[in-house]
Amino acid sequence: MHKTPNNQGAEAVVTNCIYFNTPAISKRRLPKRYRVHSLDSKLRLERTKIEARIMHRAKATGTNCPLVLSVDLERCELIETRLNGVKLVDYLQDKKNQKNAKRILADAGTQLAKLHLANISHGDSTTSNFMTDGKSVFIFDFGLSQFNATDEERAIDLLLFFKSVSELQFKYFIKGYAAQYGEKQTKQLISKIREIESRARYVER
């Protein structure tokens, strides 16, 4: 399997690769020297297993996301299908995409709603973790995702997206979200967002 450098995040090293003639990416959690070795090994192993399970459930329940092709628990490595397109943050900054942005943002909302309906919270749902080819939207990077999502965790996902776009862009996004998740349930999450922001303002005082 040939690999080419891609990027290194706080949690893992991501590289482009070819897996049995399929364009893919490798995501490998490297050891953290500042952690006790036994604890570090356990954490990396558990996070790798959880992320693989989450991606499998997300895919199975209709969320547009990468497909897990291989899991190597010894190396704490996932091989995933490589997505085509650009990150949503870059797509929205390109003026030539303005006419299509409304539909793309609504689709981003639909995809996050599908994830939430599968009882999964993303944990880092900014426009940097959505990708689009101009037709469809995909969610990726499930490194901070969790099963058994609470309404607070769903609301935090929405809040993270809200903070990464303009107010108008969020309106397009939340319209797509509500159409999938339910108007009443979405209103409850919006109320939860206000509660979270209120707590944050109180702490800042």
pLDDT in the model for residue 153: 97
Whether 94 and 35 share a structural domain = no
Reported as a single tens digit per residue, the pLDDT across 28-73 is 999 887 878 888 889 999 999 999 999 999 999 999 999 999 999 9
168 has a pLDDT exceeding 80: yes
**Considering the chain, what is the average pLDDT of its residues?**
93
Q: Which two tokens stand for residue 174?
A: 């939340």
- List the domain range (segments joined by +) for residue 17: 3-81
2 has a pLDDT exceeding 70: no
Residue range 147-175: average pLDDT? 97
Least confidently predicted of 7-16, 36-45, 88-97, 146-155 = 7-16
- Tally of structural domains, the chain: 2
Whether 54 and 70 share a structural domain = yes
Whether 50 and 100 share a structural domain = no
Tokens 């290194």 correspond to what residue?
8
* Final residue of a structural domain among 62, 81, 100: 81
Whether 111 and 151 share a structural domain = yes
Whether 145 and 184 share a structural domain = yes
* Final residue of a structural domain among 50, 81, 112: 81
- Write the DSSP string, the chain: --EEEEEE-SS-EEEEEEETTEEEEEEE----TTS-HHHHHHHHHHHHHHHHHHHHHHHHTT---PPEEEEETTTTEEEEEPPPSEEHHHHHH-GGGHHHHHHHHHHHHHHHHHHHHTTEE-S--SGGGEEE-SS-EEE---TT-EES--HHHHHHHHHHHHTTS-HHHHHHHHHHHHHHH-HHHHHHHHHHHHHHHHHHHHHH-
Tokens 């547009």 correspond to what residue?
64
List CB contacts of 11: < 8 A, sequence separation 6 or more: 29, 47, 143
* Final residue of a structural domain among 39, 63, 81: 81
* Domain at 24, CATH number: 3.30.200.20
What's this model's pTM, rounded to 2 decimal places? 0.91
Residue of 72, 124, 133, 157 marked active site:
124
User: Is there a catalytic annotation at residue 141?
Assistant: no
The length of the chain in residues reads 205
Residue range 101-116: average pLDDT? 98
205 has a pLDDT exceeding 50: no
